[in-house]
């Protein structure tokens, strides 16, 4: 099967904000306890952080990690997680119905983030709490000293402020599952007033206002329109969350789900711009896609978990090869919108719907989805170029005109490197793509990485890595033209220099 594509230096979408390769650690399941933190683990450092996990996180070059939730933040008292560990209360954690020991909190996470070479994206509780708790937490984290909360931080052993720049005004406040769910009006007012107070504490912060919990919410996109009426001038970003699954076992339809993401992004942009016009505002609202992934494998098993246990294995999806392909396409979709999507967080990072898995006391390993995330994060830095694509298409159960070829293109001027990421959604045939790379004269193919597998349901385990890329891709240059050879049902990265 053949396709065509034009790539040109002049067709620039935008500089890619590295924070689109962000991730997320929630106090949920074994993300924190048994994931990033396990004091008795053989690789634990003096702070109890697992080095094997840190190494894998560093390999991904994750620039920002959202914390501490998620649904959990909506009933969280941040004060429980600071000060001497022996004095910290155990609490009923209502979002996931477990016991939270609070052995990790704000300071420990900031410390971990520093070790992982990443920034913290902090969420405040707008479920059970509001302006007061948020402004106190911000003062605790960012104020240099000489006030109650900043001096308390110092007394807890953290002399220097954490200087956390990006703050989420609550989490999924439209969702009926959220403790303290709000109507759009209630949320809009609360988020605005909270943001206003936070800006008074620290004018340098950036704020993320909550968008809809997913594209299927009955209140989408009214929620965005109504809440932005209140928060437009205070917020810098609006959040999007989306998870996909393949419950019906329809792979062709599953691989097309990034088209829903595309549509979701476009609708949110349109809604933001509508409010911008209404307000005669000069400001552009950016998008923070701060939860995205595949999530469905663990749904049934999670129903069996007894409540009020400590760090049970919740949301431990074991990812398949086909999941990795959709992840590649979701990343491509966001890169094609890099002019508006400035932050994105793969949800989550360790154990909980995550690219990195661990055994308590044992090994850490890479799930299938680690790979497209890794390559896109490491090599997808620079300027996103608009790929002009002419691809054959197919129809699936929920989508029409699904292009077999799903690419994104990145030009790294500094490294003089052109990188093409491409998913071939065709389940049976190789895609041979004529790629006009006219403005990249004298470039040569340095690497063609392919993630392919005959078994859509192949998974990685602690013992065996069944899904991993190879570098024997066959793309080649032919008289100044690049011929992309993308095997059936595969994800690819072609790097030229």
Write out the residues near ligand AHR by the rule CB under 6 A. 26, 69-71, 171-172, 241, 291, 347-348
Cα gap 3→15, rounded to integer Å: 27
Least Å distance, CB 348 to ligand AHR, is 6
**Annotated catalytic residue within 291, 322, 417, 452:** 291
Cα gap 394→304, rounded to integer Å: 39
Q: Where do we find the tokens 């074991």?
A: 318
Least Å distance, CB 71 to ligand AHR, is 4
Q: Residue 92 or 270: which CB sits closer to ligand AHR?
A: 92
Q: Residue 97 or 156: which CB sits closer to ligand AHR?
A: 97
Element (H, E) at 371: helix 370-379
Contact 128, 180 (CB under 8 A): yes
**Annotated catalytic residue within 172, 322, 417, 452:** 172
Least Å distance, CB 53 to ligand AHR, is 18
Q: Residue 142 or 227: which CB sits closer to ligand AHR?
A: 227
Least Å distance, CB 247 to ligand AHR, is 17
Least Å distance, CB 175 to ligand AHR, is 7
Q: Residue 71 or 453: which CB sits closer to ligand AHR?
A: 71
Other C-beta atoms within 10 Å of 466: how many?
14
Q: Residue 236 or 291: which CB sits closer to ligand AHR?
A: 291
Nearest Cα residue to 119 out of 63, 61, 161: 63
Task: Point out the residue whose Cβ comes nearest to ligand AHR.
Answer: 70
Contact 11, 51 (CB under 8 A): no
Sheet holding 481-486, edge to edge: 388-390, 2-6, 431-436, 481-486, 476-478
Contact 289, 341 (CB under 8 A): yes
Least Å distance, CB 241 to ligand AHR, is 6
Provide the CA 382 distance to its chain's centre, in angstroms.
19
User: At 434, phi and psi to the nearest 5?
Assistant: -80, 115
Cα gap 223→191, rounded to integer Å: 13
Active site residue 38: no
Provide the CA 442 distance to its chain's centre, in angstroms.
36
Q: Residue 152 or 179: which CB sits closer to ligand AHR?
A: 179
Q: Residue 150 or 171: which CB sits closer to ligand AHR?
A: 171
Contact 72, 98 (CB under 8 A): no
Q: State the angle between helix axes of 106-115 and 131-142 in degrees (0 to 180), rounded to the nearest 10.
A: 50
The DSSP letter of residue 80 is G
Active site residue 291: yes
Look at residue 257 and give its three-state secondary structure. Answer: coil
Look at residue 337 and give its three-state secondary structure. Answer: coil
Cα gap 253→264, rounded to integer Å: 17
Q: Where do we find the tokens 């008074």?
A: 200
Least Å distance, CB 81 to ligand AHR, is 17
Element (H, E) at 481: strand 481-486
Q: Residue 48 or 211: which CB sits closer to ligand AHR?
A: 211
Burial, 111: exposed, middle or buried (Cβ in 10 Å; 0-12, 13-18, 19+)? Answer: middle
CA distances from 419 to 83, 104, 332 (A): 47, 39, 12
Least Å distance, CB 140 to ligand AHR, is 23
Return the active site residues.
172, 291
């Amino acid at each position: 099967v053949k396709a065509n594509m034009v790539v040109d230096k002049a067709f620039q979408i935008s500089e890619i904000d590295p924070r689109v390769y962000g991730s997320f650690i929630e106090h949920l399941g074994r993300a924190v306890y048994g994931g990033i933190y396990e004091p008795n683990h053989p690789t634990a450092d003096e702070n109890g952080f697992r080095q094997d996990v840190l190494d894998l996180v560093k390999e991904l070059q994750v620039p920002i990690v959202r914390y501490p939730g998620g649904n959990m933040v909506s009933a969280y008292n941040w004060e429980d997680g600071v000060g001497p560990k022996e004095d910290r209360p155990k609490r009923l954690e209502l979002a996931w119905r477990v016991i939270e020991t609070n052995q990790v909190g704000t300071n420990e996470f900031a410390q971990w983030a520093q070790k992982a070479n990443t920034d913290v994206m902090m969420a405040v509780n707008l479920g059970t709490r509001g302006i007061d708790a948020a402004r106190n937490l911000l003062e605790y984290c960012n104020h240099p000293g000489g006030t109650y909360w900043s001096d308390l931080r110092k007394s807890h052993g953290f002399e220097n402020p954490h200087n956390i720049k990006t703050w989420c005004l609550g989490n999924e406040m439209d969702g009926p599952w959220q403790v303290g769910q709000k109507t759009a009006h209630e949320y809009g007012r609360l988020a605005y007033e909270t943001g206003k107070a936070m800006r008074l504490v620290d004018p340098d912060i950036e704020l993320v206002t909550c968008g809809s919990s997913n594209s299927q919410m009955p209140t989408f996109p009214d929620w965005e329109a109504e809440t932005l009426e209140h928060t437009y001038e205070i917020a810098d970003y609006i959040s999007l969350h989306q998870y996909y699954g393949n419950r019906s076992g329809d792979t062709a339809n599953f691989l097309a789900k990034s088209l829903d993401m595309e549509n979701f992004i476009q609708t949110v942009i349109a809604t933001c711009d509508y409010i911008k016009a209404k307000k005669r505002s000069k400001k552009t609202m950016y998008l923070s896609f701060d939860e995205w992934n595949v999530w469905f494998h663990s749904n049934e098993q999670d129903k069996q978990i007894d409540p009020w246990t400590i760090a049970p294995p919740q949301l431990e999806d074991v990812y398949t090869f086909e999941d990795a392909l959709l992840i590649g396409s979701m990343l491509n979709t966001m890169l094609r919108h890099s002019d508006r999507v400035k932050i994105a967080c793969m949800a989550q990072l360790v154990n909980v719907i995550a690219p990195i898995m661990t055994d308590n006391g044992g090994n850490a390993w890479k799930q299938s989805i680690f790979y497209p995330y890794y390559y896109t994060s490491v090599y997808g830095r620079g300027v996103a170029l608009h790929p002009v694509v002419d691809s054959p298409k197919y129809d699936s159960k929920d989508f029409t005109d699904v292009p077999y070829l799903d690419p994104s293109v990145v030009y790294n001027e500094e490294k003089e490197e052109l990188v093409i990421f491409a998913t071939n959604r065709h389940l049976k045939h190789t895609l041979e793509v004529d790629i006009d790379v006219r403005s990249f004269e004298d470039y040569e193919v340095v690497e063609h990485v392919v993630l392919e597998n005959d078994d859509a349901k192949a998974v990685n385990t602690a013992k065996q890595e069944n899904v991993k890329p190879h570098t024997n891709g066959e793309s080649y240059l032919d008289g100044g033209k690049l011929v992309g050879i993308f095997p059936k049902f595969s994800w690819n990265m072609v790097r030229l220099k």
